[in-house]
Amino acid sequence: MKGLWKVGLSILILCGVSFGKEQNKLENECKANNAKSCLKLGEIYLKKGNLQKAAKVYTKACNLKETQGCVKGGDVFYFGDIESNEENKTNAFKIDEKKAFELYQKGCNLKNGLSCAKVADFYLQNQKDDEDIKKSISFYEKGCSLKDGYACNALGDLYSDDEPIIKDDLQKAKEYYEKACSLGNIDGCISLADIYEDENSTKNFNKVVDIYKKACNNLNSDEACFRLGCIYEDGKLVKKDINKAIKFYEKSCKVKNTDACYNLGDIYENGVKKIINPDIKKALKLYETVCKEEDADGCFRLGMIYEDGRKDLKPNIQTAISYYKKACDLGDGEACLKVGNFYISKKEIQKALNFFEEKCKESALPSSCVALAEIYKEGKLVKQDLEKMKEFYTIACNYGDGLSCFELANIYKEGKILPKDQKKALELFRQSCEIYQEAEDEEEACCEDACEYLESLKK
C-alpha cells in the first residue's frame, strides 16, 4: 500500500538539542509528571541512541495524556533501532509490536489522528479476514476526521484503482486525497493530481497545475516541483515555458531529486533554440549529481558525453568507460554492453566474456546474457558453441526478456542451427507473448509477433 508506515523514527531524531544541564532539568521535570518535558527528554535519549530510556519516557508522556508521546513511543517500540543513531548502538533494544499497538491505540483514544492511522496500519498489515479490513478503514476514517493527512491519504489509496483491497470508488478516493492535500500531506496532493491528469480533461489541467504548485511552493515537495518542470517543458497542459521549467527543476534538484537534475542537465547539454545556449559544464555538473546519487541514467549520460566529446570537450574513452562501469553496476544493461564491447575492441575477448557472464549470472542483466548468446551463435570472436548460445538465451528469456524467448523459439521452429522442436518453440512463443501482454510499457514488436503467430495457429 502506498505510504504505509512512512511516518517513522526518522521524524524523532532531532538535531540541535543541548545535552548536560538541559537533560538534568528535563529529567527532574519528567519525574514530576511534566509531559512536555518527558517528550523533550525522549528526543535527547533518542539522539544519543538510548532507545530503552526514550521508550520509557515517551510511554510516560503518553500515560500523562500527551498524545505525541503515544505516537513517538509506539514508533520506538515498532521500529526499534532501524533508523536510530548508526554510530551508537550500544544500548540493546527489543522491538515490541504489541506495546507499539497499545500506545497507538491509547493515542487514538485520546483523539490523535496519526495514532488512529497507525492502528489502522496494524490491522491492514496483519489482516486475517474482512473484519480486519473493516477495522482498518474505521480507524483511518477516525484519523482522517481528526484531521490527520496521512490517514486521509491512506483512505484515498484504499479507494483508488491502485488498491484492490476494497471496491474501487474513484470519487471517494478523490475526496480523501483532496482532504489529505488540504491538510498538507504531499502524497495526497500528488495522487489527487494524478487522478485529474488521468481523466485527461482540459477543464482539469489548471487543477493539476494548481495542486502541483501548492505542493511545490507551500509543502516543498521535490516531486511536485519536478512534475511542474515537466509540464512547462513539454507544454501539453500549459503553454510551453522553458524558463519556468528550469525554475522548477532547479528547486527540485536542490534537494537531490535526480529526475529533475537529469532533465535540467539535458536542457543545458542540448540547449533550447533562441532561449538557452548549450552549457556542457553545467550539464556535466548536473549529471555528476545524478550519478553520485546512484542513479544509472546520470552515469550513462556522462559516459556518452566523454565517449563522443562535445564542443570544448575532447573525447576521453577511459573516463567514459569508468562512468559506463558505474552505470552497469547500477543495473543499466546498455552500459554493460558499452563496457563489454570496449574490451572486445581492445581484443580482450576473454575479459569481455567474463564480464558479460558475471553481469548475466550474478547481476541478472538480460542484455549481457543476450550479448553472450549472440557471440556464441555467430562464432566470430570465439568458436561457435550452440549449447552456450541456448544457455544464455534461456537465462535471458527467464529473466523476462521477450526478445530472447522469441529468438530461441524461431531457432527451434526453423531447425537450422538446432534440431527442430515444435513443442519447445511453442512454449517459448507463449512465454514471449506473455511477457509482451504483462509488460506495463510497450515491448519490442517481436513479442507482439509471438502473440500473432500463436493466434495464426488457431485458424
Task: Give the Cα separation of 238 and 164 in Å (integer).
Answer: 33
Question: Residues 6 or more apart from 202 whose CB is under 8 A from it?
Answer: none
Burial class (CB in 10 A: 0-12, 13-18, 19+), 132: middle
Phi-psi region of 401 (alpha: psi -120 to 50; beta: other; left: phi over 0): beta
pLDDT-based confidence at residue 305 (cuts at 50, 70, 90): very high
Q: Which one, of 80, 81, 100, lies nearest residue 89 by Cα?
A: 81
pLDDT-derived band at 5 (thresholds 50, 70, 90) equals very low
Structural domains in the chain plus CATH codes: 1-110 (1.25.40.10), 402-459 (no CATH)
Is pLDDT above 60 for 278? Answer: yes
> With contact defined as beta carbons under 8 Å apart, do 39 and 83 qualify?
no
- Of 91-105, 155-169, 322-336, 342-356, the poorest mean pLDDT is in 155-169
Please state the separation of Cα 298 from the chain's center in Å: 16
Distance CA 160, CA 183 (A): 19
Contact 13, 42 (CB under 8 A): no
- SS3 assignment, position 188: helix
Q: Terminus-to-terminus CA distance in the chain, angstroms?
A: 43
Average pLDDT over residues 332-353: 97
CA distance 459 to 457: 6
- Closest-CA residue to 333 (of 231, 389, 401): 401
Query: Can you give the pLDDT at residue 16?
Result: 43
One-character DSSP codes across 119-146: HHHHHHHT--SHHHHHHHHHHHHHHHHT
pLDDT at 129: 85
The arithmetic mean of pLDDT across residues 327-339, rounded, is: 97
Predicted pLDDT of residue 169:
87
Q: What is the pLDDT of residue 163?
A: 52
Average pLDDT of the residues in 98-125: 96
CA separation for the pair 454, 13 (Å, rounded): 58
Per-residue pLDDT of 122-173, as tens digits, reads 999 888 888 888 999 999 999 999 999 999 999 999 998 655 567 778 899 9
Nearest Cα residue to 229 out of 198, 192, 267? 267
pLDDT at position 435 over 50: yes
Distance of CA 229 to the CA centre of its chain: 19
Q: Indicate the pLDDT class of residue 13, thresholds 50, 70 and 90.
A: very low
pTM of the model: 0.83
| Residue 413 and residue 425 in contact, taking contact as beta carbons nearer than 8 Å | yes
426, pLDDT greater than 80: yes
Q: What is the pLDDT of residues 226-254, one digit of tens each?
A: 999 999 999 988 999 999 999 999 999 99
Taking residue 387's Cβ as centre, other Cβ atoms within 10 Å add up to 9
Alpha carbon distances (Å) from 169 to 25, 148, 155: 53, 21, 11
The predicted structure's pLDDT at residue 337? 97
Counting every residue written for the chain, the total comes to 459
* Distance (Å, whole) CA 373 – CA 394: 9
Residue 88 has pLDDT above 50, yes or no: no
